[in-house]
A and B are shown apart, each in its own frame.
Chain A
Amino acid sequence: MAQSNFDRRRINGPEESFQPTFEDDDDRETRWKPGNPRIGRGARDIRPIFLTAGLINQANGSAYIETEKTKIACAVYGPRQSKSTTYNEKGRLNVEVKFSPFSCTRRRVPIRDAEDRSVAVQIQQALVPAVRLELLPKSTIDIFITIIENDGIEGCIAAGSVAASAALADAGIEMLGLVASCSAAVVGKEIWLDPTEEEGKASSGTLILAGMPALGTITSVWQSGSMTPADGIKCMEACQERYTDIHAVIAQSLLDNAQNNT
């Protein structure tokens, strides 16, 4: 890793390290080949979601989400007074994402690296239109997201946005609506929702859509890789249809949490 972020106060890994080489899966025959239907689930199915609000006690609001191999914890602190002295008419939504060192196949150094910020920026974009920051002048809302296990960056960003939105609601921060998010990938001629890491690699293009199902509006679109505009629109429609279901999951978990606490 880059020597510039060398932290001498920490026990660093060996100077040189290699990611483990896994034996080629024995299920070579069962591996997906172009032209075949998707393995394990339908093209428009997403991984089952386990979402619970109120995981971290010391935070104002928190949530934990698990979609098969993606595991994310999220805590919300605030609204609290901004540290900077400049006057801000609108509140600030600060999102910080941290990959745990063991979250990926290759070890990630514990120090802030480049991908953290790009993921944080995307999650922030998904949430900002929903949060009523105009009601919170001079204050900051901090959202800390820890990715415990990562299976595909697209799914990670979508799940992170969902968890953050649940945590914001758990913290009692006013929002226009709950934000739900879903990812899609174009594989061959098909559209697969919520791709895993391997499926993401097999795809020609991926898309992440976030929005407020209750209002029927979109807060963030992120697309990468090549797809025709028509495919892009199809992906967005599929995502929008699916994240309405995710919205119900978030609502249910918030309800459960509220009922348990009283």
Chain B
Amino acid sequence: MAAVLLSKSERAYIQSSLKATPPLRADGRGLLDFRTVLLETGVAPLANGSARLNIGKMAREGGGGTEIVAAAKLEVEDVESGDGVDGGRVACSVTCSPAAYPHLSSNALDELQHDLSVILQQTIGHPSLHPRNLTIIPRKKSWLLNLDAVVLADAGNVVDALFMAARAALWDAKVPRTRAVQYRAPEALKSAKNDVPGAMDVDEGTSGFDTRDMARTAADFELPDYWDEGETLDGREKWPVCVTLNLLTPRHFLDATPAEEASVPQRLHLMFSFVPSAPPTLQAMRLLGPEELDLKDLKESIAFGEQYAKELFTALETKLREEDNRRNIKARDRFALMR
């Protein structure tokens, strides 16, 4: 992604060691091994859902790795007069911290974050994944779901990390409960008017100035105060995970470091969604790099990608449920003990 300066001989060295039998990687991993992935949800107290993800943190050195913070924040939009769309919108953005890319000019950085935003928006914001509970009042008010990710450090494989962080943040997101409010003329006023003897003859119901009947439908909403922050986003199992296959025909490998990324001519991003009751679906696919590929190889790569994505998905799912458990049930128990 971000072009790391790498000499020709370094590149050839990395390529030939990846192609050797058995393949060798600088950090001793196998071709299909991921680095350690660390995940924590609920890191941004002001967001409706958030997650912090790290791939490849060095256990002993206390740092390193690709670091991403993603947060989902909901905003009320007016459908009639504002930008809102009936049923809600999803808007994704990615910001790359200049600290993560000291070698890039500000222009190149802008382009990079734009490209990452586009891939996130096109995948997460696609109508086929749209959560159904973003409506507040039909045809009047809806939620705008902002998903913002910040790349704090890049040690390779940003796209996979980005999608994992996005999935975790959206998984964690809670939509506040709302109650519709409607305006009604006070009952007492109506009856008092009718009781007055010899009142002015007004033909009821036909007056053009009587707006009482018009405002019967919900006009606004309020947020009831409740012990939890709301309900989870609809269809949160559907959010996809991404696996990036770095193609070095006839081999491919996962979770590349920046040096490996720079020495591989082509990569394939595959985003899969695994809904428990349905067969896995492909949510997005991108082929990048100045090389060409056969359809046969591409088909094989997709089949392999599905397999890897499934494993990644299962691991992420386990972790997310564990996080839910930690933050809800365990936290409640601890609170009860303290009292």
Contact = CB atoms under 8 A, between A and B. Distances in A.
Whether chains A and B associate is yes
A129 B286 CA distance: 15
Interface stretch (A3-11, A57-65, A114-122, A135-143): A114-122
Given A218-B287, A232-B302, A224 B123 contact: yes
Interface in A140-188: 176
A208 to B, nearest CB: 10
A205 B298 CA distance: 19
Interface of B is mostly: mixed
Contacts, number: 95
Interface in A235-255: 236-237, 240
Given A221-B298, A224-B123, A129 B284 contact: no
Contacts of A55: none
Interface of A is mostly: mixed
Contacts of B283: 224-226
B292 A217 contact: yes
Say which size band chain B's interface belongs to: 20 to 34
B126 A225 contact: yes
A228 interface: yes
B115 interface: yes
Nearest to A128: B290
Nearest to A124: B290
A100 interface: no
B128 A236 contact: no
Contacts of B291: 129
A13 interface: no
B77 interface: no
B20 interface: no
A222 B273 CA distance: 17
A224 B279 CA distance: 17
B292 A218 contact: yes
A226 B126 contact: yes
B26 interface: no
A5 to B, nearest CB: 13
Contacts of B295: 216, 218, 236-237, 240
Given A129-B290, A129-B292, A228 B298 contact: no
Nearest to A239: B295
B281 interface: yes
Contacts of A227: 281-282
A204 B129 CA distance: 10
A125 B302 contact: no
Which residue among A207, A217, A229 has the maximum number of chain B CB atoms within 10 Å of its CB? A229
A67 interface: no
Interface string B283-308: 11111111111110011001100100
A228 B306 CA distance: 11
B322 interface: no
Interface string A89-106: 000000000000000000
Given A220-B287, A221-B287, A226-B273, A215 B282 contact: no
Interface in A192-214: 204-205, 207, 211-212
Give 7 nearest A-B pairs by CB, closest first: A217-B292, A223-B285, A226-B128, A221-B287, A226-B281, A118-B118, A129-B292
28 contacts: A117-B111, A118-B114, A125-B288, A129-B291, A129-B292, A204-B128, A216-B294, A217-B292, A218-B287, A221-B285, A221-B287, A221-B298, A222-B285, A224-B122, A224-B126, A225-B126, A225-B127, A226-B126, A226-B281, A226-B282, A227-B281, A227-B282, A228-B279, A228-B281, A229-B303, A232-B285, A232-B302, A237-B295
Given A117-B111, A226-B281, A226-B282, 13 more contacts: A118-B114, A121-B118, A205-B128, A216-B294, A218-B287, A219-B292, A221-B298, A225-B283, A229-B303, A229-B306, A233-B299, A236-B298, A240-B295
